[in-house]
Structure 1
Amino acid sequence: MGTRSALVAAVLTVTVLSGAPAAAGPRGACVTVAADGSANFTTIQAAVDAVPAGNATPFVIKIKPGVYRGQVIVPADRPHVALLGLGRDPSRVVIVDDRASGTPKPGGGTWGTSGSASVTIDGADFSARNLTFANDFDESAHPEITARQAVAVLTRADRLVFEHVRFLGNQDTLYLNSPNAATRSRVYLRNCYVEGDVDFIFGRATAVFDRCRVHSLDRGSTTNNGYVTAASTSIDNPYGLLFTRCVFTGDAAAGTVYLGRPWHPSNDPNAIAQTLIRQSVLGAHINTATPWTDFGTWPWRDARYAEYRNIGPGAAPNADRPQLTDTEARAHTVTAYLSGEDAWSPNH
C-alpha cells in the first residue's frame, strides 16, 4: 500500500464512530440520567444543576440511551463536568433542541445565534464522550424565519475535551468561542463527527480537530453549498482552528463547498481568522480552485489560512491555496495549539 493510500486508510479507520466504545471517563462524583425515570435524574439540566458550585473535581454525569430534548447550560461556576453516554455508540444518546437565531422568544424578541444553542458550555474543564449533540431546527418547515443560525453546541470555556461525539445541525452547528476577545479558550476534539452547511465550525476559540470527520450537507446549489469554517481568531492569538488527520466528506456537488471564510463579528478588524488543515483527506465537494473565500467585504487573503500535505480529490495545490513548509508545520502541532501557559495536555 502506498503512502497516500495508507494515510487515507488510517484516517478513515479512526473516524468511524459506529461501535465506538464508551470511555471510562474521569473519576469523581457520579450521577446517572435516564429519560424513563430509572436513574437519579430524568433531564441533563437537572443533573448539571446538581453539580456543586465551584466544584473542583470531576463530576461524571452518565447518560442512559435515549433522546433528551431541551436546552442545556453548563454555567461558569460548574467546572469539571463530564458527560458520558452509556450507549454502544454515540447515536444512542442524543441531546437536542430545535431553536434558531430568528425563533421568537416567549417574552418577545428572538433568540439570536448564541441563544439558539442546544447546549452552552461556560464551565471550564468540561468533557463529553460517546454521545450526540444536535439542533434539529427545520428550515423548510419555517420559511418565515430567515435568521437560520441554529447552534448545536456553544463553548466559551477553557480546557474542553470531546471524544467520540457527534455534532449535528445545518448553519452554525458548532460555535467555538471564548468569554471575550482577550481570553483564549482551548478545545480538543478527537474522533468526532461534525456536520452542517454554512459556517458550521466557527468562532474565536483555539480548537484542535484530531482524526475527525467533517461532513458538508447538500444545500441543492450547483455553485455554492456552503462554508466549512468561519474562524474569528483574535489578532494576538497565533492559534485558531487546526484540523489534523481529518476526513472532509460531503453530499454536495463537486467543487461547491469552501473550506472557510473569515468572520469579523461586529466588523471587528482585529478578528483575523487562523485555520490550518494538515495531513487530511479532502473530498471532491471542496472547491479546488479557490477553497478559501471572502466574507462580505473582508478578503480571505488577509486571514491566516494554510494547508499542509493534504490529499484527496479536493486537495489539488495551486497559487490560491497557501501551503506550509515542513519547517513551518513543525510549529503548528496539537501541542503548540493547546499547551498554553499552563502546559495543558488533554488526556488522549
Structure 2
Amino acid sequence: MSSPRRTPRHRRPRTALAVGLPLALAASGVLAYGSVFGLGPGEEDRAAAAEAPAWATATADGFASVDALGQKGTYGGRGGRTVTVRTLADLERYATAPEPYVIVVAGTIDMAPVGKEIRVASDKTIIGSGTVGHIVGGGFFLGPGVHNVIIRNLTIRDSYQGVWNDKEHDFDAIQMDGAHHVWIDHNDLRHTADGLIDVRKDSTYVTVSWNKLSNANKAFGIGWTQNLVTDITVHHNWIRETEQRNPSTDNAAHAHLYNNLMEDAPGTAVTSSYGNYARGRTRMLLENSVFQGMRNPVIRDATAALVQRGNVFSGTSGRNESGGGTAFDPKRYYGYAPDAARDVPGLVKSGAGPRSSLGRAAATTATTAAPAAAPAARTLTVAKDGTGQYRTVQAAVDAVPAGNTSRVVVSVKPGTYRETVNVPANKPHVTIEGTGATRKDTVIVYGNAAGMRKPDGSGTYGTPGSATVAVRSDDSRLRNLTVSNDFDEAANQSLKDQQAVALLTTADRIVLDGLIVTGDQDTLELETAAKDKPGRVYVTNSYVVGNVDFVFGRATAVIDRSVITLKKRWNGTSAGYVTAPSTPAGRNGILINRSTVDGDVAAGSFHLGRNWHPGGDRTVDPQATVRDSRLGAAIKRTPWTDMGGFSWKEDRFAEYMNTGPGAGPRSTERPHLTDAQAASQEVSDWLGGWTP
C-alpha cells in the first residue's frame, strides 16, 4: 500500500506458516477441477482414464490412514471410474458393485422405502457434488469385512419417524458392523430415527472428521462389542442439539477425540443428557475440544481409561471426569497436530459440513437425463523432485497458452516452493491447486518487501510488486495451498517500506478456496486491473493471517466462512488493523461474512479497519462490512479508525449480528446495519450475478 502512513514494526514468522496459526488443518480445502472421465449415458465401460480431480484421490487421516488388515490407508474408489448419479437405482447400482468407483451424488435422492440403508461394498468413494448431494429418508450400511470406503460431502437427513428416542426404527445415517478403513468427512447428518453414525461390532480404523451432527436423539455410537478392537479418530466435528451419544464409546481399544465442538444451545427443545462417554474398557484421549452448555460433558465408566488435556468448558454442568489410568499416544500410529481449543468454535463452524466445490467437475454420468459434459480441463503437474512436468509453479504458468479459453489446472505436489509466481492478465481460467491432504502440505513462499531494490537495479518492488503470488487473470482460482511472505522485518529495521504482500489479485471472478495466506503487513491485496475495472474475489474456507492492513485494496471482495488470524508484530507487541479498503465510489468493498476474527494478541488491540484513500484520493469511498461473524476479545470497542487525514465516518463501515467478546452494541462509534440495510449487503449482492 503506497499511501503515506506510519511504518509498522512487527514480527517475522519463524517458518512459512504464521506464529499462532492453528496447526492441524483438515483436507477440507482439497478442491480441484482437474481432468476427469468422460462417460456418456450407457457408456461406462468405454471410459478412458484421465487424471482425477484432487477430491477424487483424497486419502484419510487419523486411524483410517493406518496400514493394517491388508489395507494401506483409506482412499476409497481412487483409480476406479467416476460416475455421477441422480437416482436411487443408480446410487445403489454403483455403491454395491464389486469394482471401485468414485460416485458423485448430484441431487436429492429419496430412499424408498423410508429407512432403506444401501449396503456399500468395498473400495468406494461416495461424495456429494458441492452442496446439492442429499440422501433423504435413509442412509448407508457397511457390513462385515467391507473396507476402504469414503463417505464425504453429503447431507443425509430426515428418516425421523416421530418418536424422539425411537426403539423401533433402526434408521441410521451411516451404520457399520465389522467394517474397517472408513473415512466419514464433511457431511451434514441430521434428523434420523436412530443414530446419526453407528460404528459397531469390531469396526476399526475409522476416521470421522469435519461433520455436522444435529437434531437427533442419538448422535454417534461406537462399540457394542466385548472385544477391544476398535481404533477410531474423531476430530473437527460440530455436534449440536443432540441428546446422547456425543459420542458414546464402548470397549474401543483406542479412541482419539480432538478439536470437536459439542454444543447444547439454550432455549431449544433438546437438552443434552451427556456428552463424550468412555464406556467399558475404552481407552480414550480427549484433547483441545470445546463443550458449550452441555450437561455431564465428559463421563466414564470405572473400567475405562480417559485422559483429558486442553479442553474448554463453557456453561456446562454435572459430571466432568477423567482418570482410570493412561490412555495412549496417537503419534505412535499417525501424525497430527491439534488446533488450539480457542480456535475450535470458529474453525469448526466455518469448516464443518459439505463444501461447495468438493465433488464438482465430475463429468461422468450414469443417468440418461444428464446434461452434456463440459470439456475436460488440461492439467499441468509440478513437483520439486522432478516427478511432474515442471519443477516450479511459475514454469507451469509460463506453459499456459496466452488467451486460453478453457480451464488449465496447475496441479502442485506437496513441498515448499520458494519462488514468486505471476499469472499474467492474458492467461485466464488458470487454477493453481495443491494436491496434498491439507493446505499446509503445499507452500509457495518468498520474502520480498516494498522497499527492497529489484535485482536488475530498476528500483524498488513497491507494495504490489512484493507479492509472493500475483493473480492478474480473470476466472482464476487458488485451492488447497499456503501462500506466504516471510520477509524478515527484525533483520531489516532500516528498510523504509516494509509492506510485504503474500497474495495479490488484480482481476475479476477470482476464487480463493482452502488457503492459508500469511504475512504481517499487507498480507492479502485485493485490487482491480484499473480503477474503472471490476474485480470480484470470493475467499472461502481459508485462513488470512497478519497484523497491519492485511486485507486491503479496491476490489469487491467476500471473505466467507473463514478465519482471520491476528498476530503480534515482530517485537511481540499487539496492535493492528484488519482491513484497509480503498473502494471506488458506487461499488461494494470488503465483506467479512460468517467468519471468525481472533488471535493470540492483547485484548482491545486491533481495529477492524481504517479507510484508505490512496495518494489522498478524495473520489474513493472505502467500504467494509463485518457481519454474522465471531469477534475475539482483541477487537477494540471502537473498531474503526481514520487513515491519512480522512475520517472513517465519512466512508462506509458497519457491522451486523456479530457475536463474541469483541462484538459490541450499536453506537455512533460502532455503526450497525439495520435489517433492511443488511438485506442488501449479502454475499449475492457483492458477487453481482456471479456464482463462484
- TM-score (norm. length: structure 1): 0.92
Does 2:515 match 1:165? yes
1:237-262 CA distance string (max 9 Å, x none): 1x111111100011210001000000
Does 2:520 match 1:185? no
CA distance in 2, matches of 1:24, 1:50: 27
Match for residue 677 of structure 2 among 314, 317, 328 = 328
Shift of 1:168: 0.6
Structure 2 counterpart SS, 1:91 = coil
Shift of 1:221: 7.1
Structure 2 counterpart SS, 1:165 = strand
Kindly tell me: are residues 25 and 171 of structure 1, through their superposed partners in 2, closer, same or farther at Cα, counting changes over 3 Å? farther
Does 2:594 match 1:245? yes
Match for residue 2 of structure 1 among 265, 269, 288 = 265
Q: Does the CA-based 8 Å contact 1:103-1:145 persist in structure 2?
A: yes
Match for residue 298 of structure 1 among 628, 646, 649 = 646
CA distance in 1, matches of 2:484, 2:644: 28
Task: Tell me the equivalent position of 1:176.
Answer: 526
Does 2:418 match 1:62? no
1:310 aligned partner, one-letter code: N
2:409 aligned partner, one-letter code: V
CA distance in 1, matches of 2:347, 2:471: 29
Task: Tell me the equivalent position of 1:344.
Answer: 690
Match for residue 126 of structure 1 among 467, 476, 488 = 476
Shift of 1:71: 1.1
Residue segments in structure 1 that go unaligned for 5+ positions in a row: none
CA distance in 2, matches of 1:28, 1:89: 23
Kindly tell me: are residues 240 and 296 of structure 1, through their superposed partners in 2, closer, same or farther at Cα, counting changes over 3 Å? same
Shift of 1:270: 1.4
Shift of 1:324: 0.6
Q: Does the CA-based 8 Å contact 2:666-2:672 persist in structure 1?
A: no
CA distance in 2, matches of 1:253, 1:3: 30
Task: Tell me the equivalent position of 2:554.
Answer: 204
Task: Tell me the equivalent position of 2:605.
Answer: 256
Q: Is the deviation greater in 106-115 or in 44-53? A: 106-115
1:290-312 CA distance string (max 9 Å, x none): 10001031111111001000000
Kindly tell me: are residues 10 and 285 of structure 1, through their superposed partners in 2, closer, same or farther at Cα, counting changes over 3 Å? closer
CA distance in 1, matches of 2:585, 2:626: 19
Q: Does the CA-based 8 Å contact 2:523-2:550 persist in structure 1?
A: yes
Structure 2 counterpart SS, 1:151 = coil
Kindly tell me: are residues 37 and 23 of structure 1, through their superposed partners in 2, closer, same or farther at Cα, counting changes over 3 Å? farther
1:144 aligned partner, one-letter code: S
Q: Does the CA-based 8 Å contact 1:307-1:323 persist in structure 2?
A: yes
CA distance in 1, matches of 2:359, 2:379: 12
Aligned length: 337
Shift of 1:3: 7.0
- TM-score (norm. length: structure 2): 0.47
Task: Tell me the equivalent position of 1:96.
Answer: 445
Kindly tell me: are residues 212 and 40 of structure 1, through their superposed partners in 2, closer, same or farther at Cα, counting changes over 3 Å? same
2:392 aligned partner, one-letter code: T
Shift of 1:141: 1.4
Task: Tell me the equivalent position of 1:275.
Answer: 624
CA distance in 2, matches of 1:114, 1:276: 24
Match for residue 314 of structure 1 among 662, 674, 679 = 662
Structure 2 counterpart SS, 1:90 = coil
CA distance in 1, matches of 2:360, 2:471: 18
Shift of 1:181: 1.2
Instruction: List structure 1 segments (4+ residues) > 6 angstroms apart after TM superposition.
Output: 3-6
Match for residue 12 of structure 1 among 325, 343, 347 = 347
Does 2:384 match 1:35? yes
1:263-285 CA distance string (max 9 Å, x none): 01111111211111001000000
Does 2:489 match 1:226? no
Task: Tell me the equivalent position of 1:137.
Answer: 487
Kindly tell me: are residues 278 and 21 of structure 1, through their superposed partners in 2, closer, same or farther at Cα, counting changes over 3 Å? closer
1:209 aligned partner, one-letter code: I
Kindly tell me: are residues 269 and 48 of structure 1, through their superposed partners in 2, closer, same or farther at Cα, counting changes over 3 Å? same
Shift of 1:85: 0.7
Match for residue 395 of structure 2 among 32, 43, 46 = 46
Residue segments in structure 2 that go unaligned for 5+ positions in a row: 1-263, 268-291, 294-342, 362-375
Structure 2 counterpart SS, 1:208 = strand
Task: Calculate the aligned-residue CA RMSD, in Å.
Answer: 2.2
Q: Does the CA-based 8 Å contact 2:347-2:562 persist in structure 1?
A: no
Kindly tell me: are residues 308 and 9 of structure 1, through their superposed partners in 2, closer, same or farther at Cα, counting changes over 3 Å? farther
1:214 aligned partner, one-letter code: I
Shift of 1:145: 1.2
